């Protein structure tokens, strides 16, 4: 079996791509220099009264930038389409494009439906009026779909933990020495220092990030909102006390805090489990107060609703903090939790520690943002009108102040997922929390960097994956900020 080249029979596209990339880079440099040196391009008034850019040097540079970028995108789409059709005949890029076929189809369906109904989808629909937001959303959803389909084994080509003899540190496109029947023939992105498939480990690592980063950020927002709203609304001693606790946590070095939390001696005492029991209860408090304040005047509807919703929420809460029927299970004592036959899922110890640590570190920052927004918004006229109507404090906080703070919070949520993704990569790089054989991107980069001067391929794919996901989240946040300011 012959090794795969990068582009195979579609190599005729390579010169065109190089020309397009060179034109894009030159256009970017000229545009940056021109924006500093040259005057603004003159504006022309169209027949309908709208303004358009004139034909000065800066206008020509902007057109060149748009056209060269469009050419790069078109060529990238050509690589993907030809790769899906030709498979391994189009080399490594073709084989990878074919493996990602479920992701491409999901993105096409998602974008088609979103654009078709964007006027009915609120702020999410307005996102598709922003090119930056669309690009960022596409990058984020690419890795979300990759994680989901990778968990279903629809993309991976090999077991990410299996080792194949003779494939240690092999370059991308190397065929297996003696593949079994039904086994994928190549290591598309090469093998690592333990002869494991780098491509499959990158895909499986996306699922770990997709699971932990958004959920940990969501839990941190629940904690920050639940504490930040009353601190900003009431002020006084409550504000002083909660702000002091937040500043105390923020003053502690983050990496040192993680080192302490994942130390085996600390884990053995059950401290992460206690922290999970405290932090994970905030979503229940938030949902309970939210529903109670909204339907307080309708007790016949409110009471059964609260019983049903909080019952399910408490069940999930106990499933989260219980492992093997115990909330805390140390050598000296144990605390019973949810019976195993009612336990919906068990979170591995390493993931629980990382999850709790991320929530604990992010919550004070969210608290400070929410507190600042509450301090500003509580002085608005509509809040005074709600107070005049006799609305309760929690109704005002959750149904008057919080909806009007959604723009900055949504943007910060996207950015914070990016920070959390980087933090997870940092923890994996230092070998904290997750088991050593975990395919998360940070651990994979750490293993690959040991031979970085000799072999680039084990560390480069997860590093680029991490970069593209964080870039997508930042672009998505920029698009949401741009559209939310138009409301």
Instruction: Name the 3-class secondary structure at 455.
Output: coil
Residue 270 pairs with which residues in a beta bridge? Answer: none
User: What is the rounded CA–CA span in Å between residue 68 and residue 19?
Assistant: 9
Instruction: Provide the pLDDT for residue 123.
Output: 77
CA distance 40 to 338: 67
Residues in a beta bridge with 191: 197
Tens of pLDDT along 256-295? 777 777 777 777 777 878 888 889 899 999 999 999 998 9
pLDDT at 45: 55
Mean pLDDT (whole number) for 228-232: 94
**What DSSP string describes 257-316?**
HHHHHH-HHHHHTTHHHHHHHHHTTHHHHHHHHHHHHHSTT-HHHHHHHHHHHHHHHHHH
Confidence of residue 49 (pLDDT cuts 50, 70, 90): low
Rounded average pLDDT over 411-422: 86
**Burial call 250-265: b when 16+ CB within 10 Å, e when fewer:** eeeeeeeebeebbeee
Q: Which residues pair with 52 in a beta bridge?
A: 44
pLDDT above 70 for 55:
no
Helix 198-234 vs helix 406-429: crossing angle, to nearest 10:
140
Strand partners, 323: 326
- The answer, yes or no, to whether residue 300 has pLDDT greater than 70, is yes
Compute the distance between CA of residue 143 and CA of residue 150 in angstroms, rounded to an integer. Answer: 10
pLDDT band per the 50, 70, 90 thresholds, residue 38: low
What's the whole-number mean pLDDT along residues 462-468? 92
CA–chain centroid gap for 459, Å, is 20
pLDDT in tens, 383-393: 999 999 888 89
The pLDDT of residue 44 is: 59
pLDDT at 275: 86
User: According to the model, what pLDDT value does residue 31 have?
Assistant: 80
State the helix-helix crossing angle for 57-86 and 101-116, rounded to 10 degrees.
130
Sign of the CA dihedral running 157, 158, 161, 164: negative
Query: How much is the pTM?
Result: 0.86
- Please enumerate in sequence order all residues whose Cβ is within 8 A of that of 195, keeping only pairs 6 or more positions apart, or say none: 163, 164, 165, 166, 167, 168, 169, 170
Report the C-alpha gap between 18 and 20 in whole angstroms: 5
The per-residue DSSP string of 50-111 comes to -EEE-SSHHHHHHHHHHHHHHHHHHHHHHHHHHHHHHGGGGHHHHHHHHHTHHHHHHHHHHH
Query: Is 2 or 231 the better-scoring residue by pLDDT?
Result: 231
Q: What pLDDT does 435 receive?
A: 72
Number of Cβ within 10 Å of residue 411's Cβ equals 19
Instruction: Using the predicted structure, report yes or no on whether residue 373 has a pLDDT greater than 80.
Output: yes
SS3 content of the chain, % helix, strand, coil (to 5): 70, 5, 25
**pLDDT at 124 (0 to 100):** 83
* Nearest-angstrom CA–CA distance, 1 and 8: 15
Report d(CA 282, CA 277) in Å as an integer: 10
The pLDDT of residue 262 is 72
Examine the pLDDT at 349 and tell me if it is beyond 70. Answer: no
Q: Which two tokens stand for residue 373?
A: 């927004």
Higher pLDDT, 401 or 44: 401
- Residue 131: how many other CB atoms lie within 10 Å: 11
Among 12-26, 37-51, 136-150, 192-206, which stretch is predicted with the lowest mean pLDDT?
37-51
Write phi, then psi, for 434 (nearest 5 degrees): -75, 150
pLDDT single digits (tens) 423-446: 877 777 777 667 767 888 888 888
C-alpha to C-alpha distance for 413 and 421, rounded to whole angstroms: 12
Alpha-carbon span 449 to 434, nearest angstrom: 18
pLDDT of residue 182: 80
> Do residues 417 and 473 lie in contact, with contact meaning Cβ atoms separated by under 8 Å?
yes
């Amino acid at each position: 079996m012959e090794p795969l080249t990068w582009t195979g029979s579609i190599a005729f596209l390579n010169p065109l791509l190089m020309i397009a990339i060179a034109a894009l880079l030159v256009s970017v440099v000229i545009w940056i220099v021109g924006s500093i040196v040259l005057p603004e391009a003159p504006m022309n008034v169209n027949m309908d009264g709208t303004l358009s850019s004139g034909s000065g040097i800066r206008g020509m540079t902007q057109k060149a930038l748009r056209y060269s970028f469009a050419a790069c995108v078109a060529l990238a789409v050509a690589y993907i389409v030809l790769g899906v059709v030709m498979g391994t005949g189009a080399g490594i890029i073709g084989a990878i494009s074919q493996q990602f076929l479920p992701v491409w189809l999901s993105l096409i369906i998602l974008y088609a439906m979103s654009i078709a109904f964007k006027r009915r989808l609120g702020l999410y629909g307005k996102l598709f009026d922003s090119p930056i937001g669309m690009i960022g959303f596409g990058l984020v959803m690419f890795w979300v779909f990759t994680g989901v389909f990778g968990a279903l084994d629809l993309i991976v080509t090999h077991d990410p933990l299996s080792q194949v003899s003779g494939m240690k540190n092999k370059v991308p496109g190397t065929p297996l020495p003696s593949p079994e029947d039904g086994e994928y023939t190549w290591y598309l992105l090469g093998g690592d220092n333990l002869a494991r498939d780098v491509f499959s480990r990158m895909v499986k690592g996306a699922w770990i990030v997709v699971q932990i980063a958004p959920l940990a950020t969501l839990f941190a927002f629940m904690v920050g909102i639940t504490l930040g709203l009353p601190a900003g609304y009431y002020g006084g001693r409550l504000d002083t006390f909660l702000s002091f606790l937040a500043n105390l946590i923020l003053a502690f070095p983050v990496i040192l805090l993680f080192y302490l939390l994942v130390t085996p001696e600390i884990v053995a005492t059950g401290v992460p489990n206690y922290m999970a029991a405290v932090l994970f209860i905030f979503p229940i408090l938030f949902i309970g107060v939210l529903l109670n304040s909204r339907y307080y005047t309708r007790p016949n509807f409110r009471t059964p609703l609260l019983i049903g919703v909080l019952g399910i929420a408490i069940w999930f809460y106990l499933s989260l903090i219980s492992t093997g029927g115990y909330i805390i299970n140390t050598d000296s004592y144990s605390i019973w939790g949810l019976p195993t036959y009612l336990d919906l899922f068990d979170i591995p110890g390493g993931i629980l520690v990382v999850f709790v640590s991320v929530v604990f570190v992010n919550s004070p920052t969210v608290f400070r943002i929410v507190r600042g927004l509450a301090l500003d918004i509580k002085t608005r006229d509509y809040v005074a009108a709600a107070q005049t109507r006799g609305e309760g404090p929690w109704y005002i906080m959750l149904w008057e102040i919080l909806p009007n703070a959604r723009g900055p919070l949504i943007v910060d949520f996207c950015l914070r997922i990016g920070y959390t993704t980087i933090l997870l990569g940092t923890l994996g790089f230092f070998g904290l929390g997750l088991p050593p054989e975990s395919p998360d991107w940070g651990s994979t980069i750490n293993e690959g960097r040991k031979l970085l001067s000799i072999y680039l391929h084990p560390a480069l794919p997860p590093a680029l994956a991490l970069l593209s996901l964080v870039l997508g989240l930042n672009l998505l946040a920029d698009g949401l900020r741009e559209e939310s300011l138009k409301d």
